[in-house]
């Protein structure tokens, strides 16, 4: 449901949610930090009050009890003990007044002496307060014993001040998880939206976009764009199909009048006039058929299927040879490939060419090859056809002999209704190479021209796995 909203509204919503999650996470972190600081300050103040009770016999702080020991405390097996002695100056070299001996016993923690330091001064009271603050920092069940000067050892019970249950809940991990979760969700949404746009761009570049509707989904702007593109493509395809239908109808309707004209032309006694009339009739029907073929090639409605390009070229060449046309199929040159193992040096070995298999439109490819051969015979004296390919592409090369055209001339002839300067009275309306170029594009390929040893060569490159 959210994905159908506008990108503007979704972005605003995610910004608000991100700000709320960020504010909540920061509040949790700061609140936990403040509660923890309050807990440590409370333990520190309890230590100051405890020292005042030991020194001046005043009341003990709330939550602290003191029990006199009959002898020096013993260390249970497996426990760890930290011993400290605090003088009136805070350090042994500043000794003055009564001495305070401290023993901290714990079943699982060896309290570091470096952690027992004076906060707020170097007095003895500050030293004892730092001890109670250190006890509050670590979660354990310590036993605290103190001896003021030469007096008896006293056991201090203060679980309500520095015990594990007295510590506030630490919500900093929860705050970090909230912030990380909000960031992950935000980045995930951004990745989803960008992926949807990237997928739409890929589908738009896909060769099947002209024959199949683009997927409609994602945010509202993307859906509107996909619907608009689909409507435009459908309108463009409908226009092409309508043009092909009109041309097909015109070609069919002109068939009967053209036949009548041809029959009536036989009644003309003047041979020259009759020949010119028949030539005009042939040129008219050829032009209509050429435009119809070009329009059908633009539509590209023929389904793709697996075929052998080598067999297709052999069949087309055989058709020309049956009518004694100077067309022949030449084998592709043998390429050398490196072969070797981990323990032997690689060496070049000849690789024989086999049948070139690909997915394509057989009728369109036959038409394209026939147009290339016709073009070679029109502007040269003969045509040589060669089929070759690699792992990704397949290509057909048609080479003429003695053509005076240049590569630039042939590149110009790929436009519609373009004819060479030496075409003379040869039949045609200038759509042959335009049809070949269109068919090449429908197979993910291109039409190239280059100068060969004996003439000009046209190379029809096709993608082997285009559909």
pLDDT of residue 425: 47
- In degrees and rounded to multiples of 5, residue 47 shows phi and psi of -65, -40
CATH code for the part of the protein at 218-301: 1.10.287
φ, ψ (nearest 5 deg) of residue 394: -125, 150
| Token pair recorded at residue 275 | 């020949």
pLDDT at 27: 92
3-state helix, strand, coil in the chain (%, to 5): 50, 15, 30
Of 356, 336, 363, residue with least CA distance to 347: 336
CA pseudo-torsion sign 34, 35, 36, 42: positive
Assess if CATH 2.140.10.10 describes domain 302-331+355-467. Answer: no
Residue in 164, 225, 229 with CA at minimum distance from that of residue 197:
225
pLDDT in tens, the chain (467 residues): 455 677 888 888 888 888 898 898 899 999 999 999 999 999 999 999 999 998 888 999 999 999 999 888 999 998 999 888 887 654 544 556 678 899 999 998 888 766 655 444 568 888 889 899 999 988 888 999 999 888 899 999 999 999 888 889 888 888 899 889 888 988 888 888 888 888 888 877 765 555 567 777 778 888 888 888 888 878 877 776 776 666 666 666 666 777 777 787 887 878 888 888 877 777 777 666 666 666 666 555 678 889 999 999 999 999 999 999 999 999 988 766 555 555 556 555 554 556 889 988 888 899 889 989 988 888 778 899 999 988 889 999 999 887 666 666 666 655 544 555 544 445 554 677 888 888 888 888 888 888 887 788 889 999 888 76
- Those residues whose C-beta lies under 8 Å from the C-beta of residue 16, and which sit 6 or more positions away, are none
pLDDT at 119: 46
pLDDT in the model for residue 120: 45
**What is the per-residue pLDDT for 118?**
47
pLDDT of residue 384: 92
Q: What does the pLDDT read at residue 97?
A: 67
Distances in whole angstroms, Cα of residue 354 to Cα of each of 116, 273, 339, 387, 391: 86, 54, 19, 10, 12
Q: CATH 3.30.565.10 residue ranges in the chain?
A: 302-331+355-467
- Where in the chain do CATH 1.10.287 domains reside? 218-301
DSSP 106-125: ESS----GGG---SSSSSHH
Strands 347-351 and 335-339: antiparallel
pTM of the model: 0.51
* Paired residues of 358 in beta bridges: 307
Nearest-angstrom CA–CA distance, 125 and 87: 10
């Amino acid at each position: 449901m959210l994905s159908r909203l506008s990108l503007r509204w979704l972005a605003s919503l995610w910004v608000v949610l991100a700000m709320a999650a960020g504010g909540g996470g920061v509040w949790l972190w700061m609140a936990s930090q403040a509660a923890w600081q309050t807990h440590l300050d409370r333990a520190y103040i309890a230590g100051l009050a405890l020292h005042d009770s030991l020194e001046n016999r005043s009341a003990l702080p709330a939550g602290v009890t003191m029990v006199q020991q009959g002898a020096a405390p013993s260390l249970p097996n497996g426990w760890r003990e930290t011993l400290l002695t605090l003088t009136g100056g805070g350090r042994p070299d500043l000794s003055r007044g009564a001495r305070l001996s401290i023993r901290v016993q714990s079943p699982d923690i060896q309290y570091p002496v470096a952690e027992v330091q004076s906060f707020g001064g170097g007095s003895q009271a500050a030293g004892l307060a730092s001890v109670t603050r250190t006890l509050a920092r670590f979660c354990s069940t310590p036993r605290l014993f103190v001896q003021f000067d030469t007096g008896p050892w006293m056991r201090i019970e203060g679980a309500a001040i520095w015990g594990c249950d007295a510590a506030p809940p630490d919500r900093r991990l929860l705050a970090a998880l909230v912030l990380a979760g909000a960031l992950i969700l935000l980045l995930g949404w951004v990745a989803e939206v960008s992926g949807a746009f990237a997928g739409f761009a890929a589908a738009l570049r896909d060769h099947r976009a002209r024959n199949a509707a683009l997927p409609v989904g994602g945010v509202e702007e993307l859906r509107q764009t996909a619907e608009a593109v689909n409507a435009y493509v459908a309108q463009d395809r409908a226009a092409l199909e309508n043009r092909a239908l009109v041309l097909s109808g015109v070609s069919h309707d002109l068939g009967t009048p053209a036949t009548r004209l041809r029959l009536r032309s036989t009644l003309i006694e003047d041979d020259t006039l009759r020949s010119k009339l028949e030539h005009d009739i042939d040129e008219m029907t050829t032009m209509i058929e050429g435009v119809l073929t070009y329009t059908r090639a633009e539509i590209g409605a023929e389904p793709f299927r697996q075929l052998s390009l080598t067999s297709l070229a052999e069949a087309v060449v055989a058709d020309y040879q049956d009518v004694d046309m100077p067309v022949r199929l030449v084998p592709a040159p043998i390429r050398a490939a490196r072969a070797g193992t981990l323990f032997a040096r690689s060496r070049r070995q000849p690789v024989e060419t086999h049948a070139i298999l690909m997915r394509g439109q057989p009728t369109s490819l036959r038409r394209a090859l026939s147009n290339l051969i016709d073009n070679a015979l029109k502007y040269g004296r003969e045509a040589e056809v060669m089929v070759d390919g690699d792992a990704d592409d397949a290509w057909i090369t048609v080479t003429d002999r003695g053509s005076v055209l240049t590569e630039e001339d042939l590149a110009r002839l790929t436009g519609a209704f373009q004819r060479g300067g030496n075409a003379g009275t040869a039949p045609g309306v200038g759509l042959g190479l335009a049809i070949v170029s269109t068919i090449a594009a429908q197979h993910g390929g291109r039409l190239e021209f280059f100068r060969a040893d004996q003439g000009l060569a046209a190379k029809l490159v096709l993608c082997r796995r285009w559909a």
